[in-house]
Chains A and B, each alone.
Chain A
Amino acid sequence: MIEASKLTVSLGAGQAVRDVSLLVRPGDRIGVVGESGCGKTMLGLAMIGMTPAAAKVSGSLRLDGAEMVGAGEKSWQALRARRVAMVFQEPMAALNPIKRVGDTVMEPLIVHMGLSRAQARERGLSLFEEVGIPDPEVRFRQFPHEISGGQRQRVLIALALTCDPGLLIADEPTTALDANVALKITELLARLARDRTMALLFISHDLAAVTRATQDMLVMYGGDIVERGKTAAVLSNPRHPYTQGLLSARPRPENVRETDGSRKRLPTIPGAVPPLTDLPAGCRFAGRCPIEMSQCATVRPVEQEGTICHQLEAAT
């Protein structure tokens, strides 16, 4: 069980993650969506103790009861892989190019789990099978450049599973992949989480993938969780203006095509995500929000029923 409370990641004067509270229980499948620069990746990195050296983490992050904010690299090393593991976006960059993928997967089994080479090999092969790699024996002996992007991503997932983590953080695991392959990887991650009662934090800007893989979702903007709830509920009935803007900006034939053959324009959110240091102190979405009120830019909204927005506060 992992519990973050008021978790903040500061980068210089800006905050990449601001006061995030989050409870992850075994088997939870949580999607994290938002545009680039909204703090999704930084939140993932904070939860595995891998924030960049320049970042300052504050607040609280409890891993099975142990406080990890302020804990040294040694304590993290003891927990990483066993308790929390991570899969990254670019599978080629994450694998050692001069090592056979089988050896890469065997290493943590030998080092962390204390298995013999023979045991590690057997365990590695069964992991390859679990993540759906065909001909595991053949793949085991190959180098990263010899296998396709989708298979590489599967190898990385197998690698992340070597020490039976309680939480798997997948950061944009499908972004670099072709549509059909991405679909299979998404389904694989959801299946693994179900079969192993493993928690999954699925970070992605791809709403279709999040819909498929998760039960709950968080929407991040400017380092804040602006909305959270059941994935299906958030997508069908978004309440925060940012979530609403994001969903309606999706190109959909029914949103664009008119019956007479002309095309409607997509509703857009004006402007772009500002740099961290230029974010308003109050609601982070102030300045781009269509329903902004006078206090929005300066006063922080309070979370109410899973969303933070002054308008919704005023309405209740």
Chain B
Amino acid sequence: MTLLAVENVTRRYRLPRRALLKPPAVLTAVDAASFTLERGRTLGIVGESGSGKSTLARMVMAFEKPDAGRVLFEGNDLAALSPTKLRSLRPHFQLVFQDPYGSLNPRRTVGWSIAEPLRATGQADRNRVSEALDQVGLRPADAERYPHEFSGGQRQRVAIARAIVTRPSLLVADEAVSALDMSVQAQILNLLMDLQDELGLAILFISHDLSVVGSICDSIIVMKHGKIVEYGAAEQIMRVPEKGYTRSLMKAAGLI
């Protein structure tokens, strides 16, 4: 079964009212987007800010419901699930945040933060936390330390440990390497590739940087103003980008 299928998904937001007697304007953040992601594969979504890529991620994570269309995870329509059913499914798809400093509780040990998704499903298992730390290249003893004791790259490892602690089959990485320095970015990209090969994870990799997406993803979606303007095998798109917009993203990434 296809792991993740996004079918004609649309999400609109009402903008603040500009005039009393006119209806508020509506922004279509995601406009009829469709794609699929198979187990163990990597799909990249690139686009500039405001292109709708993060909105799409939030719908895949079931943080938001689409106004039209369906998000199917292992065949389940996420928006139609009961809260209980959704909670039991959540361990299978997890999010890696962009800014680990903002997403880790500074007053709790990282071990506590990593165990959070486990507690949410009532299975607080210390061994899983140690195992996850080990998988991301940290020591089990690091569980007792606090976020400020880690460097930026290590904090991103902690964020990844938290995302994989429930042994998910899908990881959504929203700008997960964008804030990192060049040499550290390479370390984290390697880690993601290692984890993927070891655990058979599928990754939905969201970034504005086509050099990153073009390197590690099997297929690529290029988004602009909420619409998918290009979707295909990474190799194909990187070799012969169809759209001028894709070409300009390549130029910005220094690829051409």
Contact = CB atoms under 8 A, between A and B. Distances in A.
Contacts of B183: 35, 245-246, 249, 268-269, 272
Interface string B179-198: 00111111101100110000
Nearest to A259: B235
Interface in A223-261: 245-246, 249-253, 255-257
Contacts of A181: 48
Interface string B129-167: 000000000000000000000011100000000000000
Nearest to A35: B181
A4 B124 CA distance: 59
A78 interface: no
A226 to B, nearest CB: 14
Interface in B197-247: 208-212, 214-216, 234-235, 238
A267 B255 CA distance: 18
A211 B255 CA distance: 12
Contacts of B189: 251, 266
A208 B238 CA distance: 17
B102 interface: no
Interface string A40-80: 00000000000000000000000000000000000000000
Contact of A249 (B186, B210, B216): B186
B151 A272 contact: yes
B248 interface: yes
A257 B253 CA distance: 17
Contacts of B216: 251, 256, 263
B80 interface: no
Given A249-B185, A251-B186, A179 B193 contact: no
Contacts of A246: 182-183
A272 B116 CA distance: 28
Nearest to B181: A35
B186 A207 contact: no
Chain A CB within 10 A, most for which of B152, B189, B235, B238: B189
A183 B181 contact: no
A135 interface: no
Contacts of B181: 35-36, 205, 272-273
Interface residues of B, number: 34
B48 A251 contact: no
Interface string A186-224: 000000000000000000010111010000000000000
Contacts of A316: none
Nearest to A235: B254
A201 to B, nearest CB: 20
A220 to B, nearest CB: 13
B215 A257 contact: yes
Contacts of A183: 248, 251-252
Nearest to B42: A263
Given A180-B249, A251-B216, A272 B184 contact: yes
A180 B216 CA distance: 22
Contacts of B254: 207-209, 211
Contacts of A35: 181-184
Contacts of B234: 253, 257
A182 interface: yes
A263 B152 CA distance: 25
B36 interface: no
B49 interface: yes
B238 A250 contact: no
A252 B184 contact: no
Given A249-B183, A253-B214, A268-B183, A179 B238 contact: no
A72 B248 CA distance: 46
Contacts of A263: 193, 215-216
A32 to B, nearest CB: 14
Nearest to B190: A265
A178 to B, nearest CB: 4
Contacts of B215: 251-253, 255-257, 263, 266
Contacts of A251: 185-186, 189, 211-212, 214-216
B182 A249 contact: yes
Contact of B249 (A179, A211, A245, A268): A179
B252 to A, nearest CB: 3
Nearest to B151: A272
Given A35-B181, A257-B215, A178 B253 contact: no
A269 B185 CA distance: 10
A180 B238 contact: no
Contacts of A252: 211, 215, 255
Chain A CB within 10 A, most for which of B151, B153, B210, B252: B252
Contacts of B186: 249-251, 266-269
B186 to A, nearest CB: 4
Interface of B: 48-49, 151-153, 181-187, 189-190, 193-194, 208-212, 214-216, 234-235, 238, 248-249, 251-255
20 contacts: A35-B182, A36-B181, A179-B210, A180-B48, A182-B252, A183-B248, A208-B254, A249-B183, A250-B182, A251-B189, A251-B216, A253-B211, A253-B215, A255-B215, A256-B216, A263-B216, A266-B215, A268-B190, A272-B151, A272-B153
